[in-house]
Amino acid sequence: MIHFDQVHKRYPNGREALAGVSFRIEAGELAFLTGHSGAGKSSILKLIALIERPTRGQVFINNQNTSAVKPRGIPQFRRSLGVVFQDHKLLYDRPVADNVALPLIVAGVARREIEKRMRAALDQVGLLGKERSRPLELSTGEQQRVGIARAIVGKPMLLIADEPTGNLDPDLALEIMRLFKRFNDVGVTVLIATHDLHVIDRFVARRIVLEGGRVIAEEAPVEEAPVEAATRSSGAARPAQL
């Protein structure tokens, strides 16, 4: 699903964010990108979302070489991804419903279909009933869940998140991570950049560790991740109960 091949990224200010990064993430996988801030996590996500382009090397998403995507093709490309941001990037002057529906509106989906899918997405993050609320009336955790609903409303095959738990206390962070895990359980490939090691210790997932713009370790899933393995086997924990 994601394949980085000897990717370098140097920003116009001369900073070299990535220095020959290679890794693969298979379809249906859940993986964490970890490392200190400045290690290159955000750069990797920006390259996936075509916010930035590699200076050297190639990035393949769903077997498509992203260097072949022309500027005109970027909107269409982004519609196939779900992206979650640390600062949510919501439209604060619009109600929750509009925020969640935005990817469908810009893609020109029929109005009735939008309404249905917007509610389904809100239901999946446990915010059904908050359609008319303004983002600022919600807690930070709820705002992040609005961001997640927006990311998944277009039914993407790939979901990427940049420090989605960065501003949350540990309990809320765990809730958000469980939410990502649930999407992964239904087949969505999920890549999460985070330095929140306490939280991800509880998930069975591969970790790609970055330092100074290089991959310094790839840690295979730890099979006995006690807490979350239990949650998983118990089946569908509804988000409202999280």
Partner 1 sequence: MGSLGRIVQHPIATGMTVAVIAVALALPLFLNVLLQNTRAATAGWNQAFELSVYLAKKASSERAESLATQLRSRPDVAQVRVISADQALAEFRSSSGFGKALDALEANPLPQTLIVTPTVAASTPEGTQALKARIAALADVDTVELDTEWVQRLNALLDLVRRVVWLTGGLLGLSVVLVVGNTIRLDILNRRAEIEVMKLVGATDTFARRPFLYSGVWYGLGGGLGAILVVAVAIGVLAKPIEHLTALYGGQFQLRGLRFGTAALILVGSVALGWLGSWIAATRHIRDVEPT
Chain positions contacting partner 1, by CB under 8 A: 49, 51, 75-79, 83, 89-91, 93-94, 102-103, 106-107, 150, 154
For partner 1, give the closer residue by CB, 12 or 235: 12
* 76: helix, strand or coil: helix
CA neighbours closer than 13 Å in the CB half-sphere of residue 126 = 19
Compare residues 156 and 207 and give the one whose CB is closer to partner 1. 156
From the number of C-beta atoms within 10 Å of its C-beta (0-12, 13-18, 19+), residue 139 rates as exposed
Task: Tell me how far, at minimum, the Cβ of 93 lies from partner 1, in Å.
Answer: 7
Instruction: Tell me which H or E stretch contains 181.
Output: helix 170-185
Alpha helices, DSSP H only, in the chain?
41-48, 74-79, 96-106, 111-124, 140-152, 170-185, 197-200, 226-233
Cβ distance to partner 1 smaller for residue 16 or 211:
16
Smallest distance, partner 1 to C-beta of residue 221, A: 30
Q: In the complex with partner 1, which residue's Cβ is closer, 10 or 232?
A: 10
Neighbouring-strand partners of residue 58 = 5
Q: How far is the CB of 193 from partner 1 (least distance, A)?
A: 16
CB count within 10 Å of CB 44 equals 30
Task: Find the shortest distance in angstroms from Cβ 150 to partner 1.
Answer: 7
Least distance (Å) from partner 1 to the CB of residue 164?
Answer: 15
Minimum CB separation of residue 81 from partner 1 in Å reads 8
**CB count in 10 Å sphere of residue 122:** 23
**Would you call 199 helix, strand, or coil by DSSP?**
helix
Which DSSP symbol is given to 40?
S
The residues that bridge with 219 in the sheet, in sequence order, are: 207
For partner 1, the closer of residues 81 and 205 by Cβ is 81
Which of residues 156 and 213 has its CB atom nearest to partner 1 in the complex?
156
